[in-house]
Chains A and B, each alone.
Chain A
Amino acid sequence: MRSLRHFLLLLFLVVVLVQACSTDEAPSAPPPRRENIVDGLDSLTGLIAQGDYRLVKGNCLACHSAKLITQNRATREGWLDMIHWMQETQGLPDLGKNEGPIVDYLATYYAPEETGRRPPLDSVEWYILSAAGGQSSAER
């Protein structure tokens, strides 16, 4: 309950702040979200903002979000296979002279990492589990 109250307060502050900052704007016409780089990533898509990432933005996001791209890792051949599969079965048009730079970008920034047959467990979020606290058995 307390965190909810904190959140309410914070929300109120943000709303007031935003209102205050935007009085010169026509309220009916919010500006388009502008391109920005945060922590090396394109803020609108999450793509690594290096090399020819704008070609990927321009050619690859009509059908699905960039999340489908940034989850994947592949070699140059692997990326080409995916592109050809989309062209043969999913309606992706010929990329013309952009194909080479796009595949170079993908193969450079989204290259496979060697993980072996079972990598160690990673990104474990540790928490204290008390014997008295009991399990989530109430939910079962």
Chain B
Amino acid sequence: MPYLNRRRFLTVAGLPVVFAARLPAGIGLLGLETEDPLPGKHPDLTILNDRPVNAETPPHLLDQRITGADRLFVRNNGIAPASPPADPSAWELRIAGEAVPEPVVFTLAELKQRFEHHTYQLTLECGGNGRKEFSPPASGNQWSTGAVGCPEWTGVRLRDVLEAANFDRKKAVYVGYYGRDTHLSGDPDKVVISRGVPIAKALEDETLIAWNMNGQPLPHLNGYPLRLLASGYPASVSGKWLSEIAVRDRVHDGEKMGGASYRVPCKPVAPGAEVDDEDMCIIEEMPVKSLLTSPKTGAILSDTKTLPIAGHAWCGSGAVSKVDYSIDFGSTWQACALTKPANRYAWQHFSAQIEFPQEGYYEIWARATDDQGRAQPMVLPNWNPRGYLNNACHRIAIKVV
């Protein structure tokens, strides 16, 4: 029998959930909510916020080489479209903007039929993954390590679609997306989030307009039926419930492109510093990073001093060239075995076999280095007002008894 949690069980049993409303205030029916805030997601995802939905994946649940759709984190800035479209093939994507001679509309059916399909395994990581550790604290959802995943995505190349819309290569500077989520305030005219990427990134082979994750339609919370994917950049550039792409003749100026949103000080600042808007720069490539996914932190070894470890490593451009681990807080490092990526922007897998010298408390630290020699820092990287780009080494706790 597949893992059946209590929340799911209610649905399975077809029990009327109205009983929950009759319980004394503050007492939930065995901790059940009347509505599943995370439909289609693994019950052990950590919910940071239920309105808007933000949930992350504990490291050990990311052990799969290709992240399952039920395990990919959710970072929603607004409210997902209330009801998924009954007929997704009629979903419309508009290509517009200053660098397109005339707006063009494609239905999802047309996209599928007209353009070549491509499948890539692409890492998606929220720019704020790791925010929780910053000191002084940075505002926003307090992600620990789980706003990352690497499923396999199928769709068409953004480049092919922009070419079909006759975009002007000389004029084009940036693309910006719009989606069909709604603003938290309920104001239908307010754009939730509209970010994008420089045109060179937009034209890369791996920049997709995707409708499938791991061979299945996208989960509703992750953008069903259509989304953008520009891996290697903060995941917020990969717009969900995608309805329009604007090919801009300037740096896109949509919602959350300015201020402190997804921007960091152009020059390094002291922790807690005040930074003016004009001194902030848009985040592009994400830094090198890794995650120990096996074993789950907290393992007690009682009948052995040997421990196999495994995890993934990724970076926003190029590839990861090595991963090392340390069991002595970075005094010495040992090399892990490391696979090649399935394709550009796919995470790579590392593994090693640890022999502990004696009983005691250990932390295992993993450190990835990219092909330009940049390694993950052991302490927090430079502080920034909204707490982006924390790529400090991941670590887990082990006891040998």
Interface residues of chain A, those whose CB is within 8 Å of chain B, are 1, 4, 7, 10-11, 14-15, 18-19, 21-22, 25, 30-31, 33-36, 38, 43-44, 62-65, 67-68, 71-75, 78, 81-82, 85, 89-91, 112-119, 121, 124-132, 135-137, 139-140
Write the nearest CB–CB distance from B54 to chain A, whole angstroms: 8
Check B185–A63 contact: CB distance below 8 A.
yes
> Does B219 sit at the interface, judged by CB under 8 A?
no
Check B51–A65 contact: CB distance below 8 A.
yes
Contact of A68 among B64, B141, B304, B380 (CB under 8 A): B141
Check B48–A62 contact: CB distance below 8 A.
no
Check B380–A129 contact: CB distance below 8 A.
no
Closest to A114 in B: B135
> Does B357 sit at the interface, judged by CB under 8 A?
no
Write the nearest CB–CB distance from B25 to chain A, whole angstroms: 4
Given A14-B29, A72-B140: A136 touches B185 (CB 8 Å cut-off): no
Given A68-B141, A116-B135, A118-B379: A135 touches B25 (CB 8 Å cut-off): no
Partner-contacting stretch, out of B1-9, B235-243, B367-375: B1-9
Sample (26) of A-B pairs whose CB atoms are under 8 Å apart: A4-B4, A4-B9, A11-B13, A11-B30, A34-B26, A35-B25, A38-B26, A64-B51, A65-B49, A65-B51, A71-B48, A72-B140, A72-B142, A90-B184, A91-B183, A112-B136, A115-B135, A116-B135, A118-B378, A118-B380, A124-B298, A126-B299, A127-B296, A127-B298, A129-B295, A135-B294
Most chain B Cβ neighbours within 10 Å, of A68, A78, A85, A89: A68
The residues in B between 54 and 84 inclusive whose CB is less than 8 angstroms from any CB of A are 60, 63-65
Which B residues lie within 8 Å of A7 (CB)?
A: 6, 9
Check A73–B137 contact: CB distance below 8 A.
yes
> Does B18 sit at the interface, judged by CB under 8 A?
yes
Beyond A14-B29, A91-B187: 5 further Cβ-contacts under 8 Å? A4-B4, A7-B6, A72-B140, A112-B135, A135-B295
Write the nearest CB–CB distance from A18 to chain B, whole angstroms: 5
Assembly CA distance A135 to B25 (angstroms): 43
Write the nearest CB–CB distance from A91 to chain B, whole angstroms: 4
Closest to B303 in A: A131
Write the nearest CB–CB distance from A25 to chain B, whole angstroms: 7
